[in-house]
Chain A
Amino acid sequence: MWAILKKECKTYFASPIGYVFIGLFLAMFSILFYITTISQGVTTFQYVFFYSAMYSLVFIIPLLTMRMFAEERKNGTEQLLLTSPRNMIEITLGKFLAATLVILITEIFTLVYFGILCYFKTPDIPAVAVSMLGFLLLSMAYIAFGMFISSLTENQIIAAVVTIAAFVLTWLAPNISMKLVSFSLIEQFYPFVTGVFPIAETINLLLLTIMFIILTIIVMKRRKLVK
């Protein structure tokens, strides 16, 4: 697993993808940071995470996930991976954790903004910590889903478009009918921002992540039979 994790990280940062992802995210984060805190004169740093989850994460997560399996399949490197003495669980987890690591690195960068706020007034630290954790959990669920879509196709663009479409649909679902609220991951994330650690939502997001990781493993294992 470590071998795959290491190589995937290398790929993120040997190609522009890793930098583009972090750059785009931080650009959006800066704008939202200015709008929601500086211009309002408040220090509710946790809300920046909420808005950036809504307005930027949804659109840029596919940058990390679209290539995961689709690229390997297209280039044929899938053969190298699947004929190596590694099982599907290791391969999938390695790839998943590499993308999660990129998110973690991005979150560390956002601490700079936290520092800026501290200059004015120390924000509510527990609330920020909980929302950062929630942000990570939400990203993990998104990554797992994006990875699953990537395992279904060999076309990266299709993987990206389907992933974004699914995210936007679940995001807007509660606007159509409140019955669909449980589909919306953003709604799952909202309680974290309030600063109270929500156990139910944490379990929910974790289960969702695990479910899509398992689905990916099943898809990849099944391909041996149908390919």
Chain B
Amino acid sequence: MIEVKNVTKKYGNFLAVDNISFTVNDGEVVGFLGQNGAGKTTTMNMITGFIEPTEGQIIVNGLDIHKKPTTVKKQIGYMPEGVPLYTELTVKEFVKYMAELKKVSRKERKEKIELVLKETGLEEVANRQIRNLSRGYKQRVSLAGALIGNPEVIILDEPTVGLDPKQITDIRALIKNLGKKHTVILSSHILSEVSQICDKVIIINKGKIVAIDTPESLEKKTQSKNALLITVEDKENNMIKLKEEIPEILECKLIKDNEDGTKQYVVESEVEVDLRKKMFEVLPKKEITIFELKKAEQSLEDAFITLIENNTQEIKEEKQKDTRENQKKDKKEENKSTEEKKAKKNKSSKKENGGNN
């Protein structure tokens, strides 16, 4: 179990991670989602003990990483961003070095190395120098380095970046398999990946956690309208009048005019209303033939963008509020000072006047 409690990381004045807290339970696969520079890598680097948080506490399996670094680090396998490797070594030498670094006992070492090489599909290239390998293989070598020693917690920073589709599916399957026995944290900006692999999603924006939830309920939560995609043959153009017929329709929009005479419309309604049945009843009466009808599901991608946009908006508004308040204060102070000046002037002029009198 990993507990992150009120963790903040500052670089000078820049807040990279701003007071985040979350828990990852044993056997969970958790995905970090966020734009570039949102604080994903920084958070992972703090969990692995590579950098220290400015404030807050990180507890892995009941132990504070700051107080018991060696014990904790032994339980973590980390695949850093950008797959750093000792390119002058061969694949086997590298994995062996990582095993030695992680204090895998001499007896088990050989067996475990073989196992990891097999798991990551590196047996064929085991004796080749890493510098001569393709990007996909390098990625797998890095993954092998994280997996050696069978750590309880596996942290992967963008594990599928730069791979071809076949390799991506392979790695995803591997991660899914790992999730059965290990606790896995991974970061990604590919949303479909996260929704496929992860049990839980943590969305970060500008160093703050925007949402922690399952991929499914995130999709549901951010859904504001029910939309149907419908392809019809409609010779008399009756679709436009459909709104009068079915009052629940909020909007009916033509989105595509196909060459074969069919047209595609998007029909929107409130979330609780399902129009599918009604469409099948009403449209034939209007001499509209339905070719295709399906529910347009909002993807995690949309959910992500809505959340991030809302959050960024909030942050902006807060800032504006602050600046406005500051401006108000400034103005008030200015007014005060001008008033004081005026008062002084008045006094002095009065004095002068008095002197004259």
Interface positions, chain B 87-113, Cβ under 8 Å from A, are 87-89, 93, 97-98, 100-103
A85 B86 Cβ-Cβ under 8 A? no
Closest to A86 in B: B101
Q: Which listed residue (A2, A15, A78, A80) contacts B98, Cβ 8 A?
A: A80
Q: Does B85 contact A (CB under 8 A)?
A: yes
Instruction: Assess the A82–B50 pair: CB atoms within 8 A.
Output: yes
Bitwise interface map of B from 313 to 350 toward A, beta carbon under 8 Å scored 1, else 0: 00000000000000000000000000000000000000
Shortest distance between the CB of A220 and any CB in chain B (Å):
12
Size class of the B contact interface (CB-based, 8 Å): 20 to 34
Closest Cβ of chain A to B170, distance in Å, is 23
Asked if A39 is at the interface of the complex by the 8 Å CB criterion, the answer is: no
Interface size class of A (residues with CB under 8 A): 20 to 34
Q: How far is the CA of A76 from the CA of B50 in the complex (A)?
A: 11
19 sample A-B contacts, Cβ–Cβ < 8 Å, listed by A number: A3-B97, A4-B101, A6-B100, A7-B86, A7-B100, A10-B89, A11-B89, A76-B82, A76-B84, A79-B78, A80-B98, A83-B48, A83-B73, A83-B76, A84-B98, A85-B70, A85-B71, A85-B101, A224-B49
How many A-B contacts at CB < 8 Å in the complex? 75
Asked whether A14 is an interface residue with its Cβ less than 8 Å from the other chain, the reply is yes
Please tell me if B74 contacts chain A, counting CB pairs below 8 Å: yes
For residue B85, which residues in chain A have a CB less than 8 angstroms away from its CB?
A: 75, 77
- A78 to B48: give the CA distance in the assembly, Å: 13
In the complex, chain A residues whose CB is within 8 Å of the CB of B84: 75-80
With known contacts A76-B80, A76-B84, A80-B84, A87–B97 Cβ distance under 8 A: no
Contacts of A75 in B (CB 8 A): 84-85, 87
Which chain A residue lies CB-closest to B129? A14
Is B78 in contact with A85, judged by CB distance below 8 angstroms?
no
Task: Let me know if B52 and A224 touch, CB within 8 A.
Answer: yes
Q: A77-B85, A224-B51, A225-B51 are in contact. List 9 more A-B contacts (CB 8 A).
A: A3-B100, A79-B45, A80-B84, A80-B98, A81-B101, A83-B48, A84-B73, A85-B69, A225-B52
Is the CB–CB distance between B101 and A80 below 8 Å? yes
- CB contact under 8 A between A77 and B78, given known A3-B100, A83-B49, A83-B73: no
- Complex CA–CA separation, A75 to B80 (angstroms): 11
Q: Give every chain B residue within 8 A of A79 (Cβ-Cβ).
A: 45, 48, 50, 78, 80, 84
Chain A residue numbers with a CB within 8 Å of B207 are: none
Measured in the bound complex, the distance between the Cα atoms of B82 and A42 in whole Å is: 59
B39 at the interface (CB under 8 A from A): no
